[in-house]
Structure 1
């Protein structure tokens, strides 16, 4: 965990990462949890073939979380040099105002997304369909189903913002930025594409690509992984904003969203870089 802490504090240098290596790392990040989850499921059924689906889901979710964390730690070890400590003469000072600006940037995006993309994204099944939830409820006790839901919420609000940001922005984006030193936009775009692909389904993929671009911009221009983690948390938290049901409300959502984003960008601390130039 020491190297992840150094990445979090922007104290350690990330080796150059090509787009090919970035995709390879993404595949590893995706495949290892699937394999470990499959192995754990088989072992559980060998131990007790009558084990409930809810119990298998609980163990599987915990295994996936643990394997993701271990995978990120392994990648961090491979792509950082323990002795390459960065001595920053400029200390990035993040204030409450910056967190407020990031909050409203994400709220602005969510409003625009709900107005423009909701119908498109809802046309496809997400990662957990209604059928999946019904199957879980029908084949689990109420306690098991409740525990699974709690674990999924914790995954979305804690594990994903922290460890996915350390992985996708702290390691992959940093590595791409070191590779494409003269073109940070290319590095941010590539990292956003990878972030979209890793979600493995169309609704989350489209949304994740856009969010990956926003998170990459926030991280690059502020130099703070904390703000990227916070932005990711806000996006995952506000998933139940009412969807506009008529054109007037949609226009209001879009106008308010654009206003919040522009005003927040004007006021956030960007450490001397020109935002979005």
Structure 2
């Protein structure tokens, strides 16, 4: 499997990665933010974006504001992630800014076609699977751990894009971010935890390729192979850059963010 050549960037004291597939799209902004920079301390040191790991709310809010400002997005929206398949659609006229306020909504799929909203998935080994429909100008960001693979969060997210926006999956651009790699995705009790159809992703005794599993789910849902990019960066191996629950247990959450830039306001003389 070929991995994407991610573009590593440093700006305003933060370090983040970008996918070439998304970077070339006008009006689309995104970033996979590392743990570097930020205000959090101790085990959560760096750019922790989660309110649910024992960090001070003010620090999380400050970290989120840095991300928001860097991407030039008026607001960020995230969910209380529960390894499920519930989708929350942010439509015109509604979009809760969780930059400085803990999340109220529960779910693992965020969708929008509204400019100015950054969709945030928080991670510490799970995947963020980001989708963009260039025809309908719509987005999705999905939280996909191994439970998400088992429960079908990826096909559900694409289904919701079809229902809400009329998306043709063949139009979608998809990116699978840094997450637990086949080198470290160990499942001692895989016979009880994973369905038999997932056993073919075993790369050696007890180790599984979750990236390939997600890629295959994207393909099965109708996404074209040439429109899928995979980071190929294992979070457990790279705790210098990313938080990893498997490796560190008590740790923070980094974030993958995607959004549409707000439309510029026209001066009356430009009407």
Give the TM-score category using the shorter length.
under 0.3
Q: Which has the larger radius of gyration?
A: 1
Judging by fraction of residues, say which structure has more helix. Answer: 1
Judging by fraction of residues, say which structure has more strand. Answer: 2
Question: Could you say which structure has the greater relative contact order, defined with CA pairs below 8 angstroms and 6 or more residues apart?
Answer: 1
- Could you state the TM-score of these two structures normalised by the residue count of structure 1? 0.26
